[in-house]
Amino acid sequence: MAKSLNGGYVGHKMSKRAYSALEHGEVPLSMLTQNKLRKVGVEHSLCFIKWLCKKGYVRPTSWHHRGNPPVLTRFYHPKRIARQLENLPVERLLGEWKEKRYGKSFSCCKEFTATRADIHIRNPGGDVFQYYVRCPLCGREFDWKQGKK
């Protein structure tokens, strides 16, 4: 009888242990959602949480092989993320994240900053483009040129 070449994998994409981790609530960063974080009481943005994970401030709960060819992937449990956030200087890290992620600051109901990724284009079919940024809190629009660098 020939030995199965795929004995440690579910299908061709995931190891059996990675599949088991998924069933127990652990997820890789690519499968982490804002809903999963909110269910455990984390109200910070998903982008900020992923940045914390990638920088190593939030530690993974386990590592498993996924993909073809197999790559070692970090898995995180949302409840563990919430517990680790309690011991971190979140406000300081949030400031650092905003500083690195955003480029220009705007004054509105509250000081906020934006990058080129946050730019919207008004009148895209016309001759002259108008670039603007929308305040994430109140929705007020600012010309991109008005921001302070």
| Global pTM value | 0.63
Q: Are 96 and 49 in contact (CB under 8 A)?
A: no
- For the chain, where are the alpha helices, taking DSSP H only? 16-23, 34-39, 46-55, 78-86, 90-101
Q: Say whether pLDDT at 68 is over 90.
A: no
State the pLDDT at residue 26.
95
State the pLDDT at residue 107.
72
Return the closest-CA partner of residue 123 out of 135, 115, 112, 131.
Answer: 131
Q: Say whether pLDDT at 149 is over 60.
A: no
Cα end-to-end span (Å), the chain: 69
Question: Which residue type, as a one-letter code, is found at position 137?
Answer: L
State the pLDDT at residue 138.
72
State the pLDDT at residue 6.
56
Q: Say whether pLDDT at 147 is over 60.
A: no
Average pLDDT over residues 121-132: 72
State the pLDDT at residue 2.
44
Strand partners, 122: 130
| 105 three-state secondary structure | strand
Q: Say whether pLDDT at 146 is over 50.
A: yes
Q: Say whether pLDDT at 55 is over 70.
A: yes
State the pLDDT at residue 130.
78
Return left, alpha or beta for 75; rule: phi > 0 is left, psi -120 to 50 is alpha, else beta.
beta
Average pLDDT over residues 41-66: 91
Question: CA–CA separation, 64 vs 75, rounded Å?
Answer: 7
State the pLDDT at residue 77.
97
State the pLDDT at residue 10.
72
